[in-house]
Amino acid sequence: MKIVVLDGYALNPGDLSWEGLKSLGEVEIYDRTSAEETVRRASGAEIILTNKTMLLSDVIGKLPDLKYIGVLATGYNVVDLDITRERGIVVTNVPAYSTMSVAQHVFALILEFFNVPCSLSEGVRNGRWSRNIDFCYWDKTLTELDGLVMGIVGFGKIGQAVARIGEVFGLNVLVHTRSRVSDYENCSLEQLLEKSDIVSLHCPLTPETRGMINAERLGMMKPSALLVNTARGPLVIEQDLADALNKGIIAGACLDVLSQEPPGEDNPLLSARNCIITPHVAWATLAARKRLMKIAVSNVREFLAGSPVNVVNM
Report the alpha-carbon distance of residue 100 to residue 274 in Å, rounded.
26
Residues 29, 173, single domain; the answer is no
- Band (311; pLDDT cuts 50, 70, 90): very high
What is the pLDDT, as a whole number, of residue 180?
A: 84
The residue-averaged pLDDT of 256-279 equals 97
Burial of 261 (C-beta count, 10 Å sphere; 0-12/13-18/19+): exposed
Q: Is residue 312 part of a domain?
A: no
Q: Is residue 313 part of a domain?
A: no
Q: Is the pLDDT of residue 105 over 90?
A: yes
CATH number of 50's domain: 3.40.50.720
Residues 263, 295, single domain; the answer is no
Residues 73, 168, single domain; the answer is no
- Band (310; pLDDT cuts 50, 70, 90): very high
Q: Is residue 229 part of a domain?
A: yes
Residues 152, 206, single domain; the answer is yes
Q: Is residue 32 part of a domain?
A: yes
What is the pLDDT, as a whole number, of residue 199?
A: 98
DSSP the chain: -EEEES--TTT-SSSS--HHHHTTSEEEE-S---TTTHHHHHTT-SEEEESSS-B-HHHHTT-TT--EEEESSS--TTB-HHHHHHHT-EEE--TTSSHHHHHHHHHHHHHHHHH-HHHHHHHHHTTHHHH-SSS---SSPP---TT-EEEEE--SHHHHHHHHHHHHTTPEEEEE-SS--SSSEE--HHHHHHH-SEEEE-----TTTTT-B-HHHHTTS-TT-EEEE-S-GGGB-HHHHHHHHHTTSSSEEEES--SSSSPPTT-GGGG-TTEEE--S-TT--HHHHHHHHHHHHHHHHHHHTT---SBS--
Q: Is the pLDDT of residue 171 over 90?
A: yes
Residues 118, 245, single domain; the answer is yes
The residue-averaged pLDDT of 8-18 equals 97
| Number of structural domains the chain divides into | 2
Residues 173, 68, single domain; the answer is no
List active site positions.
232, 261, 280
Q: Are 313 and 77 in contact (CB under 8 A)?
A: no
Range of the domain at 166: 99-277
Residues 80, 152, single domain; the answer is no
Residues 129, 84, single domain; the answer is no
Q: Are 27 and 49 in contact (CB under 8 A)?
A: no
What is the pLDDT, as a whole number, of residue 314?
A: 87
- Band (18; pLDDT cuts 50, 70, 90): very high
Q: Is residue 251 part of a domain?
A: yes
Paired residues of 252 in beta bridges:
226
- Band (254; pLDDT cuts 50, 70, 90): very high
Q: Rounded to two decimals, what is the model's pTM?
A: 0.94
Q: Is the pLDDT of residue 181 over 90?
A: no
Q: Are 49 and 25 in contact (CB under 8 A)?
A: no
Name the residue among 189, 197, 196, 184 with its Cα closest to residue 235: 189
Average confidence score pLDDT of the chain: 97
Q: Is the pLDDT of residue 17 over 90?
A: yes
pLDDT in tens, 204-226: 999 999 999 999 999 999 999 99
Residues 73, 165, single domain; the answer is no
Q: Is residue 246 part of a domain?
A: yes
Sequence-distant (6+) residues with CB within 8 A of 264 are: none
Name the residue among 248, 151, 145, 165 with its Cα closest to residue 196: 151
Report the alpha-carbon distance of residue 17 to residue 290 in Å, rounded.
9
Residues 92, 191, single domain; the answer is no
Residues 84, 139, single domain; the answer is no
Q: Is residue 309 part of a domain?
A: no
Q: Is residue 314 part of a domain?
A: no
The residue-averaged pLDDT of 227-243 equals 98
Residues 139, 196, single domain; the answer is yes
